[in-house]
Chain A
Amino acid sequence: MTLAQILLFAEGDADGASGLTLELATKARDLADTVTAFAPAHGDAMAADLGAHGVSTVYALEGLGEGLIGVHAAAALAGHIEATSPDAVFFGQTTDGRDTAARLAVLADRPVSTNNVGAEIVDGGLVTEEPIFGGTQNIFTAYRAPAPALAMFRPKSFEAEPSGGGAAAVESVAAVDPGEAGRATVTGRHAEERSGPQLDDAAVVVSGGRGLGQPEAYSMVDELAGLLGAASGASRAIVDAGWVPYAKQVGQTGKVVKPSVYIACGISGATQHLVGMKGSKNIVAINKDPEAPIFGVADLGIVGDVHKVMPALIEALKSR
């Protein structure tokens, strides 16, 4: 059984749709006869990617300007869902996805189902799957409010697979003035320097945590990552402490990674961190505390001092 139409909140940039957006498009076309998309920005640039993943039409918001996406996208979406009656609206669990879904929830008086990693149609209605208690249990929730069901999904919950379709049709959607609520404006954008493999799609990830002892020791993580062609990541503890930027954070409030190999150095394995990396194919952990929860998910666990094991590992890799 499928739904008639799922509307996808599509995010991306001038180069096309984000990986998360295409993951959701792939899932949506399993669940619905028609998948459409609403793009708060870059609608034209995403049309080819979205079409190739089964989206028929992209509704591109015009005139966002320097306003924040959430409040403006929601104002336009409220009218758009009235006019097009989708059965569900899917959002990625991103900053703008959360803002937009939350604003729309208020405007449309609908609950939002959040943090989902799965979805199915049961008796004609949407049932979503959310991991709880650090991913030890999964809770399945049926949406009982009137359509559309609003649901948000975590990155890497589904595999993106092209369906072979041509570019999606693009239709303009006029901006709707959100009134006083829309008065925040973006006056500058700052991108952190990105070099080397990126956390989102690296085959190997090396991450560091509080066990490194001091900020300078993070250079060992970078060096090891360099030798393995890996992306470098971090636990929330050392991001909160200001050692490395938020862009490196792996976990519930950071990035979700599923590399082929994940190497955790001096990370104890708080729930917050585990939910962001336990989907990795192979996990190596180095930690001095044999009771650390990270060993519960490790395929190879080394109980030892990162300040001894990491330099020795780096030397051994250099001499190969």
Chain B
Amino acid sequence: MKVVVCVKQIPDPAIPGELNPETNTLARDDKLILDESDSYGVEMALQLVEAAGGGEVSLVSMAPRSETSGLRTALAMGADDAVLISDDALAGSDALGTAKVLGAAIGELSADLVLAGVESSDGYTGTVPEMVAGVMGLPSVTFAKHIEIADGVANVQRQTEAGYDQVECALPAVVSVTAGVVEPRYPSFKGIMAAKKKPVAEKDLAALGIDQASVGTAGARQETVEVTDAPEREAGEIITDEGDAHQNIVEFLAELKVI
């Protein structure tokens, strides 16, 4: 079985984000890392291939400046190889532009199953996996919390507002995986060393046959007209508990007539 996992390399979420003052898009000038949301997709892929008795896990990522740091992390977890799409013309791409690029790259890989995180931690539109399926003309099951594959059919528990739906889908298909449903493995030292030698094929837009005008800022067809600071909440009262702080809560609730 061949599983392709979409992974995003993002600015470290521990460092406060900034907008590029010229383009008003997220600044991505520093080193990028593997989005934690995608580590669940990578782990799920590794587990499904193990359960199938063997196969291959390939990564596909779109990132500026030939960035591979995040890809190496996923390769160290156990993925076999990666395709990186990097092209200056991709700056400013929105979800649809990203999906056009990922879809074209995945289309060259003959995947049985395409996995992705539900949403990235920086853009969190939650639309790219479904758009990739749309671009590729494949069925999709989003918000998966459990996946089983048997006889070329995926059985997926799809999270809903009320609980979950059991969904059946013949492969190939795109499935997006919710955070927390598997425990992503830590790369071993051996894995990290091996990852350095694993193949990463880099491609640009021309190699994928994509028109520059359909992606990047031009393809996004949206214009930032204003960025404002949100009003902050007024600072409240902070009390250190010395055994009776619960009384302050009782008084507060009584004042609000909750009790």
Name A's B-contacting residues (CB within 8 A).
68, 70-71, 74, 93-95, 98-99, 101-103, 105-107, 109-115, 122, 127, 131-133, 135-145, 179-192, 194, 203-204, 228, 236, 239-242, 245-247, 252-253, 260-261, 263, 278, 282-284, 286, 290, 295-305, 308-310, 312-313, 316-317, 320
Contact = CB atoms under 8 A, between A and B. Distances in A.
A189 B127 CA distance: 23
A283 B140 CA distance: 40
Nearest to A133: B17
Interface in B173-212: 173, 178-180
A186 to B, nearest CB: 5
B237 A300 contact: yes
Given A136-B229, A187-B167, A141 B142 contact: no
Contacts of A144: 221-223
29 contacts: A95-B159, A99-B142, A102-B128, A102-B130, A105-B96, A106-B131, A110-B96, A114-B124, A136-B230, A137-B227, A141-B222, A180-B138, A180-B139, A181-B133, A190-B164, A190-B165, A191-B163, A241-B180, A253-B118, A260-B258, A282-B252, A298-B238, A300-B236, A300-B248, A301-B237, A301-B238, A302-B249, A304-B241, A316-B250
A239 B180 contact: yes
Given A71-B139, A138-B228, A260 B256 contact: yes
A115 B258 contact: no
A192 B163 CA distance: 5
Q: How large is the interface on B (under 10, 10 to 19, 20 to 34, 35 or more residues)?
A: 35 or more
Nearest to B220: A111
B249 A313 contact: yes
A252 B124 contact: yes
B253 A140 contact: no
A308 B124 CA distance: 37
Given A111-B94, A290-B238, A317-B250, A189 B165 contact: yes
Contact of B140 (A71, A145, A228): A71
Most buried by B among A144, A297, A302, A310: A302
A262 to B, nearest CB: 11
Nearest to B159: A246
A10 to B, nearest CB: 15
Contacts of B165: 186, 188-190
Contact of A184 (B167, B221, B222): B167
A3 B196 CA distance: 55
Given A142-B225, A180-B139, A190-B164, A303 B240 contact: yes
Contacts of B180: 236, 239-242
Contacts of B169: 183-185
A295 B224 CA distance: 32
Q: Which 10 A-B pairs have the closest CB atoms?
A: A304-B241, A240-B180, A106-B134, A102-B130, A184-B169, A188-B166, A102-B127, A145-B221, A299-B236, A313-B246
Contact of A261 (B119, B167, B237, B256): B256
Contacts of A298: 236, 238
Given A71-B140, A94-B161, A312-B246, A184 B256 contact: no
B53 interface: no
B247 A95 contact: no
Contacts of B142: 70, 95, 98-99
Contacts of A139: 19, 24, 224, 226-227
Contact of A302 (B99, B221, B241, B253): B241
A253 to B, nearest CB: 7
Contact of A297 (B167, B233, B239): B233
B225 A122 contact: yes
B237 A253 contact: no
B227 A184 contact: no
A70 B130 contact: yes
Contacts of B246: 302, 309-310, 312-313, 316
Contacts of A290: 238, 240
Nearest to B141: A184
B256 A112 contact: no
A99 B127 CA distance: 7
Contact of B236 (A70, A106, A283): A283
Nearest to A146: B221
Given A111-B95, A142-B222, 6 more contacts: A136-B230, A139-B227, A180-B137, A181-B137, A187-B166, A190-B163
Contacts of B173: 184
Nearest to B164: A190
A227 to B, nearest CB: 8
A304 B243 CA distance: 9
Nearest to B118: A253
B150 interface: no
A11 B58 CA distance: 37
A302 B245 contact: yes
A157 to B, nearest CB: 13
A301 B118 CA distance: 34
Contacts of B99: 102, 106
Given A184-B141, A305-B241, A316 B247 contact: yes
Nearest to B95: A112
B160 A103 contact: no
